[in-house]
Structure 1
């Protein structure tokens, strides 16, 4: 009988490439969106140490914020109901709400700001730069003026100045570049900005109105969050992290991990369930498409929630995850439990080595 030899199995390179692309896509979707020095796990531990040094352990001594208890039963999706929810988040994070302007027309305000920037850019800049610009106005000056008259003058002024300066930098760089390849790369990067609506992919933004000579700050939220109170809470908790960190100059805004630290501030103050559950959501109108929200991602937020629970357990002799399982989405729950088990195991090993029992 003829013997058959088993040949090594070779996979087409296109299948291997597709598999690698899928892994990268999953990491982009579920993992942290910024580089975390030392790796996510070590970065979380180091950053929590820093937060405790800044704020003490009091935030950890308060119970975690649970959606079932924090969101009013009668929440109706109105701007008034969402505003009251924003004020509740302020109270929990001990941020004075009288210095913050909350509104739910982020898309309109950002479109108005970009349009105002385009009108100014066209009127003020040299022809050679105007010819290179692909930034487009979607509102007429009259429409921008109408939004200003409704009370959004401060927000539009600050955002328009940002848009104007960013476009000036882009077009100047393109104009000055003599290398064809680098110039093409700059144009491609600029086109990615020009073709994307202002503020798209974001649920909220924090604006320091003092940069425009005004008092206080503003938090703009997308109208799409109104129907989801948990999304309102997650977005506001993150933006109030900016109020705490940037408003009081605790960190440099240019830090590569500044946005991730802001996510962690919200988790440190008890809003980890909201941020972890809201880290990935379905794109409206597209059944199978998901989009990532926040900067720690679902994995980073779950790991941070586990570290938060572990540190609370060190302060209070209670269950490591008191009542949280029923509040967490399945994927978040699995990840949080796994990381918490690792933290407990590492602590047990450390206590054995040091000859002290783990509580």
Structure 2
């Protein structure tokens, strides 16, 4: 019988393969293992964050009070002390004229992280305040910087920090939002330029490139999907009900990744 949500003409041997290339598979598995050692095995077993009134209300309008409450809730999911985080806002529309004058490719920053007087500061684009699910993904990414940069966990590591930040959002329970945001931005906007470390752009959420030779390596939908499969394996989940609410690309990679992982010998699976 063909598994649910799988096209009947897809060969079963294709379904048994890992949904990402070997290099990506090794990277995801290596750094998910690092996350277990770094944050502890209990961290991955917290409740997976999903769109609900507990996270943001149905009438969410992106007011400063609502946004700061949302930041506080995401902090609790990701193990960040909300009292140590300061929230600031900017409007990316104000940055567009400078980009045009300089002749650079268009980009739009949607989030930033830095530290001021010992406190983590995350800056959020006001233009995303009306999209709570996307805003949640941006907040999660910036709080990933807090867990990595703010807690001095990556100093001396030979790792693409932005990719690891995306992976940490998965490990710490926010992968549903960051995976879906990758799909959202892939569908809506392309061609963005790179910004310094700690800034989050739409292209960083998608992993898309300016051209085939310029790729910064942030997680794609399929990489997010396989990371979510590893996350589910760590949690002992074989068919998480929330997977049906993922966007198609990440959902397919998650399902294929779970099938692949559970068909591996136990020693390799661990």
Instruction: Give the C-alpha shift of residue 42 in structure 1.
Output: 0.9
4+ aligned runs moved over 6 Å, structure 1: 283-286, 288-291
1:40 corresponds to 2:24: yes
Instruction: Give the C-alpha shift of residue 283 in structure 1.
Output: 7.7
Instruction: Give the C-alpha shift of residue 232 in structure 1.
Output: 1.3
Instruction: Give the C-alpha shift of residue 235 in structure 1.
Output: 0.8
> Contact (CA 8 Å) 1:205, 1:220: kept in 2 or not?
yes
Instruction: Give the C-alpha shift of residue 349 in structure 1.
Output: 8.9
> Contact (CA 8 Å) 2:46, 2:77: kept in 1 or not?
no
State the SS of the aligned residue for 1:39. helix
Alpha-carbon distance between aligned partners in 2 of 1:192 and 1:307, rounded to the nearest angstrom? 42
| Partner residue in 2 for 1:309 | 232
Instruction: Give the C-alpha shift of residue 285 in structure 1.
Output: 8.2
> Contact (CA 8 Å) 2:86, 2:121: kept in 1 or not?
yes
Instruction: Give the C-alpha shift of residue 248 in structure 1.
Output: 1.5
Instruction: Give the C-alpha shift of residue 51 in structure 1.
Output: 1.0
Alpha-carbon distance between aligned partners in 2 of 1:195 and 1:304, rounded to the nearest angstrom? 37
| Partner residue in 2 for 1:13 | none
1:289-316 residue CA offsets vs partner (Å, 9 max, x unmatched): 9964422121111110111011111xxx
| Partner residue in 2 for 1:207 | 114
Tell me the TM-score normalised to structure 2 length: 0.73
Q: Which has the larger radius of gyration?
A: 1
| Partner residue in 2 for 1:235 | 138
Instruction: Give the C-alpha shift of residue 346 in structure 1.
Output: 1.1
Structure holding more helix per residue: 1
Instruction: Give the C-alpha shift of residue 44 in structure 1.
Output: 1.0
How is 1:217-256 mapped onto 2 (pairs within 5 angstroms)?
217-252=120-155, 255-256=158-159
1:266 corresponds to 2:130: no
* Structure 1, unaligned runs of 5 or more: 1-30, 112-135, 139-190, 314-318, 352-357
User: Structure 1 pair 284/259, CA: closer, same or farther in 2 (3 Å)?
Assistant: closer
Tell me the TM-score normalised to structure 1 length: 0.56
Alpha-carbon distance between aligned partners in 1 of 2:263 and 2:150, rounded to the nearest angstrom? 39
1:344 corresponds to 2:262: yes
1:43-76 residue CA offsets vs partner (Å, 9 max, x unmatched): 1111111111111111222121112353322312
State the SS of the aligned residue for 1:236. helix
State the SS of the aligned residue for 2:252. helix
Aligned counterpart for 1:331 among listed residues 220, 224, 249:
249
Across the aligned residues of Structure 1 and Structure 2, the Cα RMSD in angstroms comes to 3.6
| Partner residue in 1 for 2:223 | 300
> Contact (CA 8 Å) 1:281, 1:293: kept in 2 or not?
no
Alpha-carbon distance between aligned partners in 2 of 1:101 and 1:289, rounded to the nearest angstrom? 30
Alpha-carbon distance between aligned partners in 2 of 1:137 and 1:202, rounded to the nearest angstrom? 14
Alignment length, in residue pairs?
Answer: 230
1:303-345 residue CA offsets vs partner (Å, 9 max, x unmatched): 10111011111xxxxx423221332112221121011111111
